[in-house]
Amino acid sequence: MIKFSKFFSNLQETSWYRSFLNPVISEVRNNSTLLDIGTGSGKLIQILSNEKGVDCTGVDTNSDMLKEAKSKIKSNKIKLLEIEANKQLPFEDHSFNYVTICNVLFHLSNENIDLMLQDSKRLLKEDGKIIVLTPTGIGNIFTLTKYFFSLKNIGIFIWFYATRNRAAKWTKTNYLKEYSEKNKITYSSQIVMEGFAQLEVITV
Ligand SMILES: C[S@@+](CC[C@H](N)C(=O)[O-])C[C@H]1O[C@@H](n2cnc3c(N)ncnc32)[C@H](O)[C@@H]1O
């Protein structure tokens, strides 16, 4: 049976996955420094390193995902590291311009979200940004077909239905907006990818 990490890695090579990641890619400045938490098979950092000269580090708790990332990323400029969940990450304070967290936070408990955000704030340089990308869970088979149908994009239907319930809850509860208000930090959000994803940015 095909491993989930391999399946996910293949998913990341499709045009619809690039559409999902594009809003994050646009938000990141050329030649900056970036930490991607929950990097999975590493597509975002591969693109940012190749296309924008970004100095990228990817961390993940799953060794199979990191193996996929290593097999895909040939550049020795990109660092990959296996980490333990819910622990402070092994980097100095103020190391990065950006922390990206894509497709991850909406799977975690509130307590673990807060831990990850707290540590991300510690790791950011002045005016650094935490960029969070999450599916919205909004839409249906007709809108998916309208915008993304092609034989190569069949995986989007699996992704949509596998993430829909948790994603819709994340969209509805506005957790990051409330977190930012409580902590008096700047927050913005926009719906992207034809309504299928939300980009949230916290500036520290
Ligand atoms: C759905 S994948 C997303 C991969 C990639 N960020 C993307 O958007 O394509 C979620 C990843 O988050 C990782 N993950 C889950 N909890 C984590 C945690 N507490 N710290 C770091 N990575 C975590 C999982 O192992 C998995 O590889």
CB of residue 39 inside a 6 A radius of ligand 1: yes
- CATH at 83: 3.40.50.150
Q: How many angstroms separate the CA atoms of 101 and 168, rounded? A: 18
Average pLDDT of the chain, as a whole number = 95
Q: Distance, CA 92 to ligand 1 centroid (Å)?
A: 22
CB of residue 103 inside a 6 A radius of ligand 1: yes
Query: What would the mean pLDDT of 120-130 be, rounded to a whole number?
Result: 97
Q: Distance, CA 162 to ligand 1 centroid (Å)?
A: 15
Q: How many angstroms separate the CA atoms of 36 and 42, rounded? A: 9
How many independent structural domains does the chain possess? 1
CB of residue 85 inside a 6 A radius of ligand 1: yes
Does residue 136 surpass a pLDDT of 90?
yes
Q: Tell me, what's the pLDDT at 174?
A: 96
Taking CA atoms only, the protein residue closest to ligand 1 atom 12 is 38
Q: Distance, CA 53 to ligand 1 centroid (Å)?
A: 23
What is the β-pairing status of strands 55-60 and 79-82? parallel
Residue 115 · residue 55 · CB < 8 Å = no
Q: Distance, CA 29 to ligand 1 centroid (Å)?
A: 23
Helix (H) or strand (E) holding 36: strand 33-37
Taking CA atoms only, the protein residue closest to ligand 1 atom 13 is 38
Q: Tell me, what's the pLDDT at 36?
A: 98
Q: Distance, CA 78 to ligand 1 centroid (Å)?
A: 17
Domain that holds residue 172: 4-203
> pLDDT tens, 42-81?
999 999 999 999 999 999 999 999 999 999 898 889 999 9
Look at 76 and 105; give whichever has higher pLDDT.
105
